[in-house]
Amino acid sequence: MEGFSLKRLTLVILVLTAILASTPTLAQSYKIDTSHSALDFSIRHLVSKTTGTFGAFSGTIMYDANHPEKSQFLGTIDVSSIDTQNSRRDGHLQSGDFFDVATYPTITFASTQVEKTDDGRLQVTGDLAMHGVTKSVMIPVEILGTGTHPMSGKKQIGLAGELTIKASDFGINSWENFVAILGDEIDIRILVEANAG
């Protein structure tokens, strides 16, 4: 009886090993292609809104289509690359009144949890570190598509996400005229095209 049980256990292990070995994994690591990606923001200015972008950023995405909850998202922004189409304003935003680039040159994001929603989107929760403050934020992410680049032959992924944060949560509202001129909420739009590394 013991011999039969051992043989049966061995057979089960062999079958499970074969199944696991034959199951393809869709987990893939991608690097953000900044030339085909954008990181934009907008904030209230008096009676309207001012928009801007960050021109220098990088990041990696580990996406598993079979198990999206195992996916990971990492990103870094060079704050000195801020561009609002006004060099004087950009310089002010880089100063100690706002981002204080000399002390805090980067903004980083690292996912801590990924969940798939009923509509197929991802809820990516992670740590956003900016201006010496780290806060947990949630970014709804839409996978725009996956495929293979016709020229390079590399796998690709496209995604989009939006979130709203408060300047006061990260201490970037120390300018004395901030409340009178600017809103506290910053709307951020992320559009990413990434290639397999």
> What are the tokens at 177?
């005229």
Local structure of 34: helix, strand or coil: helix
Position 141: which residue type? V
Contacts for 137 with CB less than 8 Å, ≥ 6 apart: 109, 125, 126, 127, 128, 163, 165
Predicted pLDDT of residue 16: 52
Which of 81, 138, 84 has its CA nearest to residue 107?
81
Query: Do 72 and 111 form a contact (C-beta atoms < 8 A)?
Result: yes
Q: To 10 degrees, the CA torsion angle through 34, 103, 85, 60?
A: 10
**CA within 13 Å, CB half, 80:** 5
Neighbours of 100 (CB within 10 A): 18
Which of 81, 84, 60 has its CA nearest to residue 72?
60
Q: What is the pLDDT along the chain (197 residues), one digit of tens a residue?
A: 455 565 565 555 555 554 444 444 567 999 999 999 999 999 999 999 999 999 999 999 999 989 999 999 999 999 999 999 999 999 999 999 999 999 999 999 999 999 999 888 999 999 999 999 999 999 999 999 999 988 888 899 999 999 999 999 999 999 999 989 999 999 999 999 999 97
Alpha-carbon gap, residue 130 to 120, rounded angstroms: 30
